[in-house]
Amino acid sequence: MRLSVGMKIGGGFLILVVLLSLITVQGVHVMNSTDKDLHSVDILYDRVTLDYQIKNSFQNVALAIRGYTTYGDAKFLDEYTANVVETKKLINERISNSSPEEQPKYEKVLLDFQEYDQSISQKMIPLLKEQKTLEATAVGSTLTPITASINQTIQERIDENRQTSEKEIQRTIDTSSKGRQTVITFSLIAILLGVISAVLITRSITESVKKIQAGIKHLAVGDFTQAIEVKTKDEIGELAASINQTREQLKNLITEITEVAQSVAAHSQQLAASAQEVTGTAEEVASTTSEVAAMAEKSLENASITAEESVKVIEVATSGGNTVMKTTDKINHIARSVDEANESIQHLGTLSAKIGNITNVITGIADQTNLLALNAAIEAARAGDQGRGFAVVADEVRKLAEQSATAAKEIGQIISQIQSGINSTISFMEQGSSDVQEGVALAHQAGIALNNIIEAINHNIVLVQEISHGAQQTSEGTQGLSASNEQVTSTIQQVASATQELANIASRLQVSIAQFRI
């Protein structure tokens, strides 16, 4: 049967709980029995107490009537009456508190006491009041049997209840003692079983845990040769089995890693040797490629120089052609400008004549404005202080009119000079127009010659460009080959470095694996 750790611990606690339950039940039983016995003792104690009270009260009744008989004092009658009432009350209370066996006896006590009271109240006291002491004493003597019967019954009840009470008390003591012994016995058994369960459960757990701890320490130091031997079928046994299974898996894994590390080291050495051979071949190819690249670079450089010179020549020729064309255009433009200037100068002469007329008009307007300013000054003088501001304005207008007249005269003189210069310019422009036409013809012939030169140079440039293109392709091919060769060399170096690193890792791995014992 498979007992888990929880079931073992739970079983131990269950045993303790059962024993504690038994102890509790026994203790409750003892307490109930004790309470029952004590209750019986309390009832008996109450009965005995009432019996003593009845006895004392009855004695007080007898003492009161004896005192009245001896001294004749009325206070003894009052005491007698009060004690009679108290005695009857106590007897009735004792009847209600009596057992079925006792009740008839106390009912007889009550009847005897009532007869006793009637004899004293109805016979003896009246005789005493009449001072018939002898007759009263004789009546009292007849009550002696009743008094003895009452006292005897009460004393018997007292003795019997005292004995019963003592028995109940002794039984309570015996019951408590037995219950205490039973509780102590069960407690000792519970403690003993608890200690045994704790020792057995703890030993079964700690021994297995210690074995697992020792096995884990072996695994921690790399010793995989020691298996954990735990034969229990609880969770700890399952844990030990899992650790053993893990140990076997790690053992197999380390064996595989060892084999792989050895294989990696061997292949790394072979790969390193191959990388060295490839590196030597790549260096030879790189040397040859460098020589071809140098020759291609030189051819490309010569072709580039030739192409540059040809381009410079065609640029110069093109620039000359453009210059000739621009010169022709400029000359044509100059010719048109000369014609336009001639027309403009002639038109300018016409306009200068019109400006002269306009100048005359401005001169007339200035004279009239001067006259108006003079009239305004006169009117301002008439207005006195109120026209003083207007006089200032009129004076300014007059000055402006004089300046306008002066400027109009100067403009007239300048226009006369312009008209004289225009006439001279027209004659010069006609001569310049004839010279410009001859320059246009010469520039056209120079442009045709430059175009022929440019066509010849363009043909040479095409040939040079083809040579340069071929040299450039050769140079690019050698450069690409050189770059590829460098990339191959770099890759081979990386492979060699990685191979060396892999060999180092394999070596470190072998050293690390050597620490394990399988």
Q: What is the pLDDT of residue 183?
A: 84
Q: Which residue has the tokens 């009857």?
A: 88
Least confident of 153-157, 371-375, 388-392, 428-432: 428-432
State how far the alpha carbon of 455 is from the alpha carbons of 46, 323, 327, 459, 465, in Å. Answer: 159, 17, 21, 6, 15
Q: What is the pLDDT of residue 470?
A: 62
What percent of the chain has pLDDT above 90?
21
Least confident of 34-38, 97-101, 140-144: 34-38
Judge whether residue 29 has pLDDT over 50: yes
pLDDT tier, 298 (very low <50, low <70, confident <90, very high otherwise)? confident
Q: What is the pLDDT of residue 337?
A: 73
Q: What is the pLDDT of residue 439?
A: 63
Residue 518 and residue 251 in contact, taking contact as beta carbons nearer than 8 Å: yes
Judge whether residue 162 has pLDDT over 60: yes
- Distance separating alpha carbons of residues 263 and 451, to the nearest angstrom: 80
Phi (first) and psi of residue 223, to 5 degrees:
-95, 105
* Range of 322-336, 465-479, 504-518 with top mean pLDDT: 504-518
pLDDT tens sequence across 280-294: 755 774 675 577 467
Q: What is the pLDDT of residue 149?
A: 93
Residue 138 and residue 35 in contact, taking contact as beta carbons nearer than 8 Å: no
Q: Going by C-beta distance under 8 Å and a sequence separation of 6 or more, which residues neighbour residue 155?
A: 55
Q: What is the pLDDT of residue 268?
A: 72
What average pLDDT does range 4-11 have in this prediction?
76
pLDDT tier, 191 (very low <50, low <70, confident <90, very high otherwise)? very high
Helix or strand (DSSP H, E) at 97 = none
Type of residue numbered 337:
S
- Distance separating alpha carbons of residues 7 and 13, to the nearest angstrom: 10
Judge whether residue 117 has pLDDT over 50: yes
- Distance separating alpha carbons of residues 148 and 66, to the nearest angstrom: 16
- Listed residue (318, 336, 349, 363) closest to 425, CA to CA: 349
pLDDT tier, 453 (very low <50, low <70, confident <90, very high otherwise)? very low
* Range of 12-16, 144-148, 380-384 with top mean pLDDT: 144-148
pLDDT tier, 108 (very low <50, low <70, confident <90, very high otherwise)? very high
Pull the structure tokens for residue 296.
């291609």
260 or 79: whose pLDDT is higher? 79
Q: What is the pLDDT of residue 359?
A: 76
Q: What is the pLDDT of residue 82?
A: 96
Q: What is the pLDDT of residue 467?
A: 41
pLDDT tier, 105 (very low <50, low <70, confident <90, very high otherwise)? very high
The pTM of this model reads 0.36
Average model confidence (pLDDT) across the chain: 80
pLDDT tier, 110 (very low <50, low <70, confident <90, very high otherwise)? very high
Residue 54 and residue 91 in contact, taking contact as beta carbons nearer than 8 Å: yes
Q: What is the pLDDT of residue 30?
A: 72
Q: What is the pLDDT of residue 296?
A: 56
The dihedral region occupied by 30, where left means phi > 0, alpha psi between -120 and 50, and beta the remainder, is alpha
Q: How many CA atoms lie within 13 A of 11 on its CB side?
A: 12
Q: What is the pLDDT of residue 79?
A: 95
Q: What is the pLDDT of residue 474?
A: 47
Phi (first) and psi of residue 99, to 5 degrees:
-80, 165
Q: In terms of C-beta distances under 8 Å and separation of at least 24 residues, what long-range contacts does 200-203 make, across chains too?
A: 201/8, 201/9, 201/12
- Listed residue (149, 157, 167) closest to 98, CA to CA: 157
pLDDT tens sequence across 196-224: 988 888 887 888 888 888 888 888 888 88
106 or 10: whose pLDDT is higher? 106
Give the chain's end-to-end CA distance (angstroms, integer): 35
Judge whether residue 116 has pLDDT over 50: yes
Pull the structure tokens for residue 311.
């381009």
